Amino acid sequence: MHGLSFDIAHMLAGSLVLVSFLMLYQVRLTALLHALALHALVLAASVAWQAHIQDAPHLYVTAALALGFKAALIPWALRRIVFRLGIHREIETVGGIGLTMLAGMALVALSLQVMLPVTAMEDPVAREDVALALSVVLIGLLMMVTRRNAVSQVVGFLSLENGIILAATGARGMPLVVEISVAFSVLIAFIVVGIFLFRIRERFDTVDVGALDAFRGGRA
């Protein structure tokens, strides 16, 4: 039983990393949002599996939250925003997909290299989870750095946050309060960012953050 449960946990966490890679090269915003929903879905499955093997019923709540908010509500809302902004057909120039993918692979290698020796004494499930979660976080950050569109930066941020949740649930005994507060903080951040998107758009007729830089550069 232990071997199987470990393998499944490992597989789910690995899938999360895989979906992160998937998101790295999505140039269409709608496709990116679908990938985000998939990301959250995998996260929910992973958390639910953790709830099962750790025998921690409160983690089911976390999984349900991830499923409800992250896999359904937020992608749906972002999709509405994208349609209302009329940028659903836009193709974003990510630039050097191959290079980005290579960088992502290097990040995964780095996080494994960092995490596995540090957590040598820990439970193997938690070890793998934490190492893979760190790679999800780093890839999310990489996405935020490489994208120019504000919506895709938000998506990068949300995937980063998913990585944090994965790390939190992998460790035993994480209180529910912490998870719920993290979830709510993300929701608030999402609302704020959503409002900002419209404000930016109102002023600059685009959500390309380059326009913001140009505006600031004029005053510098």
Count the helices and strands in the chain (H runs, E runs).
Answer: 9, 0
3-state secondary structure of 187: helix
Closest CA to 131 of 123, 177, 198: 123
Please identify which residue in 9, 16, 48, 142 interacts with other proteins, judged by CB under 8 A: 142
Please identify which residue in 8, 53, 141, 164 interacts with other proteins, judged by CB under 8 A: 141
Q: What is the spatial distance between Cα 188 and Cα 186, in angstroms, rounded to a whole number?
A: 5
- Find out whether 51 and 59 touch, Cβ atoms under 8 Å: yes
Q: What is the spatial distance between Cα 67 and Cα 78, in angstroms, rounded to a whole number?
A: 16
- Nearest distance in Å: CB 87, other proteins: 18
Please identify which residue in 93, 113, 181, 185 interacts with other proteins, judged by CB under 8 A: 113
The 151-190 contact track toward other proteins, x by CB under 8 A, reads: ----------------------------------------
Contact partners, residue 50, CB within 8 Å, separation at least 6: 9, 56, 59, 125, 129, 169, 170
Give the interface segment with other proteins, choosing from 86-94, 167-175, 188-196, 207-215 (CB under 8 A): 207-215
Please identify which residue in 110, 178, 188, 192 interacts with other proteins, judged by CB under 8 A: 110
Please identify which residue in 33, 138, 167, 168 interacts with other proteins, judged by CB under 8 A: 138
The dihedral over CA atoms of 31, 34, 36, 41, expressed in degrees to the nearest 10, equals -150
- Nearest distance in Å: CB 40, other proteins: 22
Please identify which residue in 1, 2, 55, 216 interacts with other proteins, judged by CB under 8 A: 216
- CA dist 67 to 63, 70, 146, 156, 182, Å? 6, 6, 27, 18, 15
Q: Is 93 in the site for other proteins (CB under 8 A)?
A: no
Q: Is 145 in the site for other proteins (CB under 8 A)?
A: yes
Using CB under 8 A, list all residues that contact other proteins. 107, 110-111, 113-114, 117-118, 138, 141-142, 144-145, 148, 209-210, 212-213, 216-217, 220
